[in-house]
Amino acid sequence: MDFRAIHDHLRAIDAPGLLGSDEPRPPSKEKKDKGRAGDPYLLIDPQLLPQFLHVCRDNPRLSFEMVMDITATDPKKDGEHFWINVQLISVRHKHRLALKCLLPKAHPVLPTCTTVHRTCQWHERECAEMFGITFVGHPDPRHILLPDDWIGFPMRKDYEFPREYHGISCE
């Protein structure tokens, strides 16, 4: 199925947490629209993301049995939201889907997706240490790449670099 068909099917079965969709479009001068490149994506409510993934996995026409990636994006330094980006792929039907969630920076908490896909563990651990996003219910919430005593969240736009770490100067 292509993106439009997937979207219509999800609307038809009334998937939980589906808020909207966005597709790339060419720029137009009359509408003063800069256009958008990239992939089409679905906008999901972050608090209902596991339920949504569950529907996507178990629906026989979609059968998104694999999560390729869960990442976050910090689009603006003084913005109010993170993006959570999820890439799904269906090996059986050979189609893929991009999901996005808007997560408020003031309270970056969402339920873990490891209950649906166990692959999400490492992705969520990286996401948690790089952006300071809490995945509630994660079975192993340690750091994955950074040292255990690392302070700060390096992938945030307002991150300040450490001046020294364990006696090693960073100037």
Binding-site ranges for another protein (CB under 8 A): 146-147, 150, 154, 159, 161-162, 165-166, 168-170
Cβ 50 vs Cβ 113: under 8 Å: yes
Nearer to another protein, 34 or 161 (CB): 161
Taking alpha carbons only, the member of 100, 159, 110, 111 closest to residue 131 is: 159
Q: Closest distance between another protein and the C-beta of residue 169, in Å? A: 6
Nearer to another protein, 36 or 165 (CB): 165
- What CA–CA distance (Å, rounded) separates 10 from 75? 28
Q: Closest distance between another protein and the C-beta of residue 170, in Å? A: 7
Nearer to another protein, 14 or 149 (CB): 149
Q: Closest distance between another protein and the C-beta of residue 168, in Å? A: 5
| Paired tokens of 148 | 């255990």
| Paired tokens of 136 | 């509630």
Q: Closest distance between another protein and the C-beta of residue 38, in Å? A: 24
Cβ 24 vs Cβ 31: under 8 Å: no
Nearer to another protein, 43 or 146 (CB): 146
| Paired tokens of 63 | 């059968």
